[in-house]
């Protein structure tokens, strides 16, 4: 599987690769890629075996570390299966959580863990899909065995594996991989030099490739042409903003109107915070200041007090991402502070402008609906 080179990315890539740190990390990247290839070969040749649960399995993952729009796609898939009347279970690693091992986040009736204990993304998915069974587990097989035992009398119709393209110990019936068009695709490098988890040619292992975060149509066209060598269906996704949501229900009539908020201080601890700012500006927000933190970084009272103080001094409204909001909800003290400050969060969802029915058909066939 080979790729044509994009002139723009070649220039940007060359500048990046000349950096001393990048050159120092390259041998580690080569080693990382070699280990990934050996591991994949062992699975491909059945020297390492996969365990298959007694339910259909959908994996939604990516080939790079973070920031591809995976979580909104997981949410879209959960909602689609639920709309079919399916009993849905999801297994996530629960990045950034304070707990270990297999944990039940939601039993399909009530939310049992907060963002701190379950991880911000997992708690958000559980809260937005209250009818779904949600489990966190470092080892997806252990999570599936837990579901099989715990819900023996009312088993799920389908299991969704969150961020599991590289987690090959558990077999899946449909492998969906998301590729970000905002990444330097043609000059992508292996971890830790770049963000690749495994070589790009392994995208051929996927059943469906979703191309998202498109900002340059010409660049996206070039990436899509390159991806056709995989022989897999390639669908495009886009993120739709649903407006700002209030922290407390009493403010919803005023807060749902994003035009009433013009000057904001935006803060986020996500993999691609600049895209958050772009989304805010598209809704009409005037982002006068911003604070960025590491992806999944826990918030502290000192940090929150600092954000509130800065917003008050500058006469700005506080705005964050939904994922960050669920991280704040994991601490009652921080939740109280943010509600008093009338912090809002930006609600988004994934849409598929082309090819949505094709993906729906593949998912329906999986559960026989």
- We report the CATH number of the domain holding residue 85 as 3.40.50.300
C-alpha 164 chain-centroid distance: 11
C-alpha span between 210 and 52 (Å, rounded) = 25
Q: What is the pLDDT of residues 299-333, one digit of tens each?
A: 999 999 999 999 999 999 999 999 999 999 989 99
* 323 close to 295: Cβ distance less than 8 angstroms: no
| 255 shares a domain with 188 | no
| 360 shares a domain with 327 | no
Q: State the CB neighbour count (10 A cutoff) for residue 204.
A: 13
Task: Examine residue 51 and state whether it is found in any structural domain, yes or no.
Answer: no
Residue with tokens 């915070």: 273
Specify the pLDDT at position 215. Answer: 87
Residue with tokens 């963002």: 115
| 208 shares a domain with 65 | yes
Domain enclosing residue 178, as ranges: 57-236+352-367
Q: State the CB neighbour count (10 A cutoff) for residue 131.
A: 14
Specify the pLDDT at position 177. Answer: 97
Per DSSP, helices labelled H in the chain are 7-17, 20-44, 70-83, 115-118, 120-128, 140-150, 217-227, 252-255, 273-282, 301-314, 322-329, 332-340, 356-367
Task: Examine residue 25 and state whether it is found in any structural domain, yes or no.
Answer: no
Specify the pLDDT at position 251. Answer: 40
Task: Examine residue 9 and state whether it is found in any structural domain, yes or no.
Answer: no
Specify the pLDDT at position 220. Answer: 94
Task: Examine residue 190 and state whether it is found in any structural domain, yes or no.
Answer: yes
| 160 shares a domain with 95 | yes
| 254 shares a domain with 212 | no
Task: Examine residue 241 and state whether it is found in any structural domain, yes or no.
Answer: no
- Report helix, strand or coil for 180: strand
Task: Examine residue 326 and state whether it is found in any structural domain, yes or no.
Answer: yes
| 270 shares a domain with 210 | no
Q: Count of domains in the chain?
A: 2
Per DSSP, helices labelled H in 192-272 are 217-227, 252-255
| 177 shares a domain with 76 | yes
| 225 shares a domain with 101 | yes
| 317 shares a domain with 360 | no
| 117 shares a domain with 77 | yes
Specify the pLDDT at position 249. Answer: 52
Written as six digits, the tokens of 160 are 């969704």
Task: Examine residue 12 and state whether it is found in any structural domain, yes or no.
Answer: no
| 203 shares a domain with 260 | no
Spell out, as residue ranges, where the chain has pLDDT lower than 50.
2-17, 250-260
Specify the pLDDT at position 143. Answer: 97
Task: Examine residue 8 and state whether it is found in any structural domain, yes or no.
Answer: no
| 356 shares a domain with 310 | no
């Amino acid at each position: 599987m080979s790729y044509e080179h994009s002139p723009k990315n070649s220039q940007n890539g060359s500048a990046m690769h000349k950096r001393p740190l990048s050159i120092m990390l390259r041998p580690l990247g080569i080693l990382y890629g070699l280990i990934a290839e050996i591991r994949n070969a062992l699975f491909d040749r059945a020297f390492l075996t996969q365990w298959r649960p007694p339910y259909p399995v959908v994996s939604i993952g990516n080939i790079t570390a973070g920031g591809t729009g995976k979580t909104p796609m997981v949410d879209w898939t959960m909602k689609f299966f639920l709309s079919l009347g399916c009993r849905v279970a999801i297994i996530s690693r629960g990045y950034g959580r304070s707990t270990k091992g297999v944990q039940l986040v939601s039993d399909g009736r009530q939310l049992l863990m907060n963002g701190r204990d379950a991880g911000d993304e997992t708690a958000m998915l559980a809260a937005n899909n209250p009818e779904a069974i949600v489990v966190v587990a470092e080892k997806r097989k252990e999570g599936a065995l837990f579901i099989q035992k715990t819900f023996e009398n009312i088993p799920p119709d389908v299991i969704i594996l969150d961020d599991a393209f590289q987690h090959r110990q558990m077999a899946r019936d449909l492998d969906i991989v998301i590729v970000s068009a905002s990444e330097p695709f043609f000059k992508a490098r292996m971890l830790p030099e770049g963000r690749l988890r495994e070589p790009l040619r392994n995208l051929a292992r996927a059943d469906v490739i979703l191309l998202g975060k498109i900002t340059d149509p010409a660049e996206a066209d070039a990436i899509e042409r390159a991806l056709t060598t995989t022989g897999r269906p390639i669908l495009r996704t886009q993120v739709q903003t649903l407006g700002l949501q209030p922290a407390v229900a009493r403010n919803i009539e005023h807060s749902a109107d994003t035009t009433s908020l013009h000057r904001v201080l935006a803060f986020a601890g996500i993999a691609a915070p600049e895209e958050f700012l772009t989304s805010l500006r598209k809704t009409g927000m005037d982002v006068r200041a911003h604070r960025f933190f590491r992806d999944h970084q826990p918030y502290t009272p000192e940090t929150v007090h600092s954000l509130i103080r800065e917003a008050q001094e500058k006469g700005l409204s506080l705005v964050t991402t939904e994922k960050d909001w669920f991280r704040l909800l994991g601490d009652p003290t921080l939740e109280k502070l943010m509600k008093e400050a009338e912090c809002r969060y930006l609600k988004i969802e994934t849409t598929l402008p082309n090819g949505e029915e094709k993906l729906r058909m593949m998912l329906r066939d999986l559960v026989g609906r």
